[in-house]
Amino acid sequence: MGLNYYKIKKHIRKARKLVIKSTTVAASGHPGGSFSMAEIMGVLFNNYLHFDTKNPLWEDRDRLVLSKGHASPGLFSNLAVAGYFDESEMETLRKFGSRLQGHPDLKCPGVEFCGGSLGIGLSFSIGIALAARINGKNHRIFTIIGDGESNEGQVWEAAMTAAKYKVDTITAILDRNFIQQDSYTEKIMPLDEQLTGDDLSEMWKDASRWKTGDKWRSFGWNVIEIDGHRIEQLDKAISQAIATKGAPSIIVARTIKGKGVEHMEDNPKWHGKAPDHEIAPIIDLELDCQFMIAPSIIAGDMTNLENEVKRCVNGRADYIHLDVMDGQFVPNKTFDHTKINELRPITEIPFDAHLMINEPVKHVRDYIDAGSDIITVHAEVCNESSFGEIYDTLKQNQVSVGLAINPDTELPDWSFKFIPTLDQLIVMSVVPGKSGQKYIESTHEKMTRVVSKLNEHKFQGYIEADGGVTLENAGACFADGARAFVGGSAIIGQSDIRGVIREFRDVILHTRRRMLLQKANDLGGSELVNRWIDLHSIGKKKDELIRIAKELEHT
């Protein structure tokens, strides 16, 4: 089974957008903590929780306990996306009579725990687990706790209790975002080491400073430490926790408060503050502008692809692009599912298998079994019937579905029925199968045309730019509508992959910031532009926004 990668990403994006919409309407709420746990919730709801939206009190359901109850918008949004209630109900957040209160309440279907006072969710979860043991039930309990509420002694009393009674049906997930209501956690009651400045990056990135996991180990817990915004790491960690017997498990997920909205990220001000109506549409656009970068390993050393995969891992690629060529659909031949199967154990980072082969319907099962998380086939070798069969097979196996079109190919009419639920569209900007090509400039105009057609048919997936993408044109590709970027020689051909991926991110971020400033100007002129800029009070982002605004003559 695949990772369900793009389905999870799309649900996370929708949930984040619902959080902004609901807190804006309510003029209150907690977007920061909702966003730090967004990937955690997305993976749980899509890959692990067993539930029935039509029967919320189904006896054998898994239980999700949100101990950090102030992040209720993040829970409610996921319940809405899952189908417990209509998404429009999110606009009733914090209103009198609403089922959606400032903290979780049992009036809301899917809520298991009234998370008013912080620090008691883990104790509650242990009670559920012990009751299930007495009743001979084996459902799982997933408990989301905050690092701020870990100041409470009850958290640690519960930790001792769970270890004593070997409550292995509990998986606790610590949303370790380093910020609580008043300030940074390490300035109030350090879980790791005391923070002397306001630069969280040294705490987040320096493993030698992480002490939280050691604390939980000393209490007898199985501890797994991960990046809480990497879907694949979360998926693997939850799977490992479920498989652990004889001890409770905790996943220490390092996260970023306000993740996904630059001015909210790592900013204590956004622990419990809602955006206003003028700013919300700009944030909505920013959430639609999240992007990914994927090296294409065939541009590296083809005699040692194992090492190229490891270089991608060290470079912190979002996923790894695997160009499969059969020597028939394209003149060159690379590798097939056998090599992907050999590479799969190296990393849990998603594999994006781009099948440049004839008759993909006959071979797609091999690429599922080899461990591909995204599989893309070409429109030129499919029709509605064969692509429909491929689509159904991939969806049934939780593998994301992609369709690719060559530079001289337009979207076929038969593709329109699949577009609303298609996960990825690759718009090739070089002729596939030939190395050393430059980006075909007419692709910019084509991308504009394709995006218009996709919007017309309610596309919710991601457009991938593939072929000749470099630091010089990545920003323009982003402006065209691409949100995933495949880099061959421009990334994998460089000695410092991590450095060049960082450069790609900076280039794309620059273009994204221009777009958001333009949006602000369109909505409210220079006054709103200046308000948007002033929100960016953490780090050096504000300085660049000021420079861009001057270039655009928006100040």
Query: Could you give the CA distance from residue 400 to residue 376 in angstroms, rounded to a whole number?
Result: 8
Asked whether the beta carbons of 354 and 378 are under 8 A apart, the reply is: no
Quick one: pLDDT at residue 541? Answer: 93
Q: What percent of the chain has pLDDT over 90?
A: 93
Q: DSSP code of 101?
A: -
Query: Could you give the CA distance from residue 212 to residue 10 in angstroms, rounded to a whole number?
Result: 31
Q: How confident is the model at residue 351 (pLDDT cuts 50, 70, 90)?
A: very high
Phi, psi of 171, deg, nearest 5: -120, 110
Tokens 């470079």 correspond to what residue?
315
Query: Could you give the CA distance from residue 381 to residue 437 in angstroms, rounded to a whole number?
Result: 23
Instruction: Report, as an integer, the average pLDDT of 107-121.
Output: 93
pTM: 0.97
Tokens 């075909």 correspond to what residue?
440
pLDDT (tens digit per residue) in 207-236: 888 999 999 999 999 999 999 999 999 999
Q: In the predicted model, is pLDDT for residue 528 greater than 90?
A: yes
Instruction: Report, as an integer, the average pLDDT of 76-88.
Output: 98
Quick one: pLDDT at residue 436? Answer: 73
Query: Could you give the CA distance from residue 26 to residue 513 in angstroms, rounded to a whole number?
Result: 27
Quick one: pLDDT at residue 533? Answer: 97
pLDDT (tens digit per residue) in 151-198: 999 999 999 999 999 999 999 999 999 999 888 999 899 999 888 887
Query: Amino acid letter at 100?
Result: L
Q: Where are the beta strands (DSSP E) in 379-483?
A: 400-405, 424-428, 462-466
Phi, psi of 27, deg, nearest 5: 60, 25
Instruction: Report, as an integer, the average pLDDT of 302-327.
Output: 97
- Nearest of 325, 335, 307, 313 to residue 435 by alpha carbon: 325
Helix (H) or strand (E) holding 227: strand 222-227
Quick one: pLDDT at residue 539? Answer: 84
Q: How confident is the model at residue 386 (pLDDT cuts 50, 70, 90)?
A: very high
Quick one: pLDDT at residue 521? Answer: 98
Domains of the chain by start residue, with CATH: 28-276 (3.40.50.970), 291-494 (3.20.20.70), 495-555 (no CATH)
Q: In the predicted model, is pLDDT for residue 201 greater than 80?
A: no
Query: Amino acid letter at 180?
Result: Q
